[in-house]
Amino acid sequence: MRARRGEGGVASGDDGRRDQHATVAVADCTIGTSFAVQRPKMTALLTQPPSPASLGAPAHRHPSTWLPFDYQRVPGPIRFWLSRRLLGRGVASVSPEVAFARDQPLAAGEAVSWPLSARAALGLSHDLDTARALDPTERLLDLEERLGVRSTLFLPGELAERLAARVRGWQARGFELGLHDVRHDNRLPDLDAAALADRLARIAATAAAFEMRGFRAPSFWIRAPIIERLPAPLAYDSSLPSLRAGTHAGRVAGAGTCRPFRVGRLWELPVSLPVDDDLLRAGLGGDAGRAVLAGWLAAVQARGGVAVYVDHQEPHLSGNARGCAALEALLRGHASAGELWIAPLGAIARHLGFPAPANAE
């Protein structure tokens, strides 16, 4: 069995124990077949993670960094209009079969060890880029509480520090806090060595202060070598889209999978569903967007993967009555179906086997 830790192969369980009752389907994307192995706590994994060359942001700087001032001083609706001109219809115009090209649908009888006998996991996450997202988030959390689900809230560290009491209150209600870098400047891959070391130290300190285990790069703008350097207590990353489409020079690229894989010692939970701003750029808000997401969810279920849902709670994106209603309809359509395990991303990573900080490699 090609089971080993770290780069390249399938990660074994962190505690090394075998659970003879856990039969898991593992797709071998290199030869396009699948086989069963015995593994504790593991769900469907790739035997060969995507190569680093296919991961992460393009080689150039993020366009927002070309401005001589903080791009978030440009009002959100104007930024959205500009991105629509630059990026076109994006991921929403591509089928999930393209996005999950590395994953084979599960054959009849293949099992995946998600809790509640679910066929797939749905990880809910919301990115709170600025303070404008705070009030819509309160309404959203009330909704999720009523529905009995919890989500992960990714915040820039500087925002979390400014609002420490408020975000710790969310944590106390069972919502997970994740780190959206220390500031939303889209510069992480382009920092020089000294600035990167300083940024990683601040990431470690913020994650420790707020008990954050997950990281998401602003604008999904990160590359695999930096994910490998994300410090403890971070244990997972969710920054790499399954499909990165758009103009970043017209290319279509991405992780190509809806299944978790390892990048260094961290779990990568790829962003597998179209993100709200992609849907909105394609004119697919509200119910139309919900219908697209339902189709992608079905594709993830067929592959036994993780559907990572991301929206933005700024009022010009999903932080409004229409966005809230669409999410409610999506969750009501699936919460009772028993085919999805709906959980914060940290719970999904923990199910896969959290590397404890003391065991960090």
Does residue 218 bind Zn ion (CB under 5 A)?
yes
CB of 120 or CB of 159, closer to Zn ion: 159
Residue for token pair 């989500």: 151
CB of 92 or CB of 217, closer to Zn ion: 217
Least Cβ distance, residue 121 to Zn ion (angstroms): 22
CB of 40 or CB of 254, closer to Zn ion: 254
Does residue 260 bind Zn ion (CB under 5 A)?
no
Site for Zn ion in 61-120 (CB under 5 A): none
Q: Which amino acid does the sequence have at 20?
A: Q
CB of 5 or CB of 84, closer to Zn ion: 84
CB of 46 or CB of 179, closer to Zn ion: 179
x/- track of binding to Zn ion for residues 177-216 (CB under 5 A): ----------------------------------------
Residue for token pair 């959390």: 141
CB of 72 or CB of 247, closer to Zn ion: 72
Give the contacts of 17 (CB within 8 A, at least 6 positions apart): 40
For residues 157 and 138, what is the distance between their CA atoms, to the nearest angstrom?
19
Label residues 49-78 b or e (16+ Cβ within 10 Å = b): bbeeeebbbeeeebbbeeeeeebbeeebee
Site for Zn ion in 235-254 (CB under 5 A): none
Least Cβ distance, residue 179 to Zn ion (angstroms): 11
CB of 127 or CB of 278, closer to Zn ion: 127
Least Cβ distance, residue 154 to Zn ion (angstroms): 7
Label residues 167-199 b or e (16+ Cβ within 10 Å = b): beebeeeebbbbbbbbbbbbbbbbeeeeebeeb
Please work out the total of residues on this chain that contact Zn ion, with binding judged by CB under 5 A. 3
Give the contacts of 284 (CB within 8 A, at least 6 positions apart): 92, 292
Give the contacts of 244 (CB within 8 A, at least 6 positions apart): 91, 220, 252, 253, 254
x/- track of binding to Zn ion for residues 330-349 (CB under 5 A): --------------------
Least Cβ distance, residue 298 to Zn ion (angstroms): 27
Structure tokens at 181: 């870098």
Kind and range of the H or E run holding 139: helix 134-147
Give the contacts of 217 (CB within 8 A, at least 6 positions apart): 180, 181, 188, 237, 239
Least Cβ distance, residue 293 to Zn ion (angstroms): 19
Least Cβ distance, residue 230 to Zn ion (angstroms): 16
Site for Zn ion in 117-136 (CB under 5 A): 127, 129
CB of 218 or CB of 323, closer to Zn ion: 218
Least Cβ distance, residue 148 to Zn ion (angstroms): 27
Least Cβ distance, residue 340 to Zn ion (angstroms): 25
Pairing of strands 236-237, 214-215: parallel
For residues 153 and 125, what is the distance between their CA atoms, to the nearest angstrom?
6
Which residues sit at the interface with Zn ion, rule CB under 5 A? 127, 129, 218
